[in-house]
């Protein structure tokens, strides 16, 4: 490799990482379009270290690719229902093999903040930073979220409990499929029930749709509604995702409106 090639290579690797290609399987590149690949000799051509490794779907009999989603969803519901505490729920999730995202994620991203906080915020899914560290909203979006909370006198250490609709990162930060959402939904619903916040804030479209049944986040944000946790009815609202606000800074004024309403609701000075 020449030095001139290095910046291109760095860009290529960054692009691969962005697309979710984070593991090197072999040291030698293969052009699979030109190499003849007789079906029965493919296994023999794999590097020795990979020969015994089954595909993620095969390794996890319940994984989405391998079984009907209903089965995984039913199993998720049963496991979530059995969990009596947030710790038990996290443990149940770490044992759950029904979502194929687990196979590509580095970490389970369960929660951050204070489970006793009056506000629970639920985002979409972990990104690369969250996946690496194992905590939600620690990347650029998370930093903006922290600044937004600080603007209304809240912080995640004391006042806010944070989780995601999906606890595993979709490869390349792609939007979760409806099937992945359906499979993981019982866990986040149970997490909300066990955390038992006074107010639920759904961050971004997928969270608003998955938990509140809202579609079109720009039209539905800021509208207060009831959310049935399973044991009680709490107030809930959807707001814009900080990742969107980083791309569309002018829309921060809408998020600011939602934050002011959240503050007023917490202070009991408004009945949203
Ligand atoms: N975006 C999310 O929705 N959740 C995270 O944890 C990080 C980014």
4 within some domain: no
Bridge-based pairing state of the strands 112-113 and 233-239: unpaired
- Is 14 among the domain residues? no
Decide if 8 is inside a domain.
no
What is the spatial distance between Cα 91 and Cα 150, in angstroms, rounded to a whole number? Answer: 31
How many domains is the chain partitioned into structurally? Answer: 1
Task: Decide: 130 in ligand 1 pocket, CB within 6 A.
Answer: yes
For the purposes of burial, counting CB atoms within 10 Å of the CB of 26, is it exposed (0-12), middle (13-18) or buried (19 or more)? exposed
Determine if ligand 1 sits within 6 Å of the CB of residue 136.
yes
Residue 205 neighbours by CB distance under 10 Å: 21
**At 77, which helix (H) or strand (E)?**
helix 69-82
**Domain membership flag for residue 257:** yes
Does the Cβ of 127 fall within 6 Å of ligand 1?
A: yes
Question: Does residue 197 line the site of ligand 1, with CB under 6 A?
Answer: no
Write out pLDDT tens, residues 63-83. Answer: 334 445 589 999 999 999 999
Burial of 95 (0-12, 13-18, 19+ CB in 10 A): exposed
**Is residue 178 in some structural domain?**
yes
What sign for the dihedral angle of Cα 236, 163, 189, 214?
A: positive
CB neighbour list of residue 24: distance below 8 Å, 6 or more residues apart:
none
Task: State whether the beta carbon of 227 lies less than 6 angstroms from ligand 1.
Answer: no
The answer to whether position 31 is within a domain reads: no
List strands edge to edge, sheet with 112-113: 112-113, 160-164, 119-123, 199-203, 233-239, 225-228
Query: pLDDT tens digit string along 189-230?
Result: 999 999 999 999 999 999 999 999 999 999 999 999 999 999
From ligand 1's centre to the CA of 164, what distance in Å? 7
Q: What is the pTM of this model?
A: 0.77
Looking at residue 157, which CATH number applies to its domain? 3.40.470.10
Average pLDDT, the chain: 83
Return the exposure string of 233-246: e unless at least 16 CB atoms fall within 10 Å of the residue's CB, then b. Answer: ebbbbbbbbbbbbe
pLDDT in tens, 227-260: 999 999 999 999 999 999 999 999 999 999 999 9
Range of the domain at 186: 64-267
Q: Per the domain annotation, does 73 fall within a domain?
A: yes
Ligand 1, atom nearest to 135 Cα? 6
């Amino acid at each position: 490799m020449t030095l001139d090639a290095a910046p291109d290579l760095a860009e290529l690797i960054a692009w691969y990482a962005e697309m979710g290609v984070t593991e090197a399987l072999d040291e030698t590149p293969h052009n699979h379009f030109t190499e003849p690949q007789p079906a029965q000799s493919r296994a023999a051509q794999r590097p020795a270290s990979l020969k015994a490794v089954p595909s993620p779907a095969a390794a996890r009999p319940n994984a989405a690719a391998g079984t009907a989603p209903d089965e995984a969803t039913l199993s998720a519901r049963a496991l979530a229902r059995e969990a009596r505490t947030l710790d038990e729920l996290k443990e149940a999730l770490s044992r759950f093999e029904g979502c194929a995202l687990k196979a590509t994620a580095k970490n389970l991203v369960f929660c951050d903040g204070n489970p006793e906080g009056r506000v629970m915020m639920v985002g979409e899914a972990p990104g690369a930073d969250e996946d690496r560290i194992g905590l939600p909203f620690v990347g650029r979006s998370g930093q903006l979220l922290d600044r937004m909370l600080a603007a209304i006198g809240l912080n995640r250490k004391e006042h806010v409990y944070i989780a995601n609709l999906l606890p595993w990162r979709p490869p390349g930060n792609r939007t979760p499929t409806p099937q992945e959402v359906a499979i993981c939904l019982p866990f986040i619903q149970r997490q909300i029930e066990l955390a038992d916040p006074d107010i639920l804030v759904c961050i971004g479209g997928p969270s608003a749709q998955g938990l509140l049944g809202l579609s079109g986040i720009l039209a539905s944000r800021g509208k207060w509604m009831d959310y049935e946790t399973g044991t009680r009815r709490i107030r809930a609202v959807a707001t814009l995702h900080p990742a969107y606000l980083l791309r569309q800074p002018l829309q921060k004024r809408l998020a600011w409106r939602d934050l002011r309403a959240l503050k007023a609701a917490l202070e009991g000075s408004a009945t949203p």
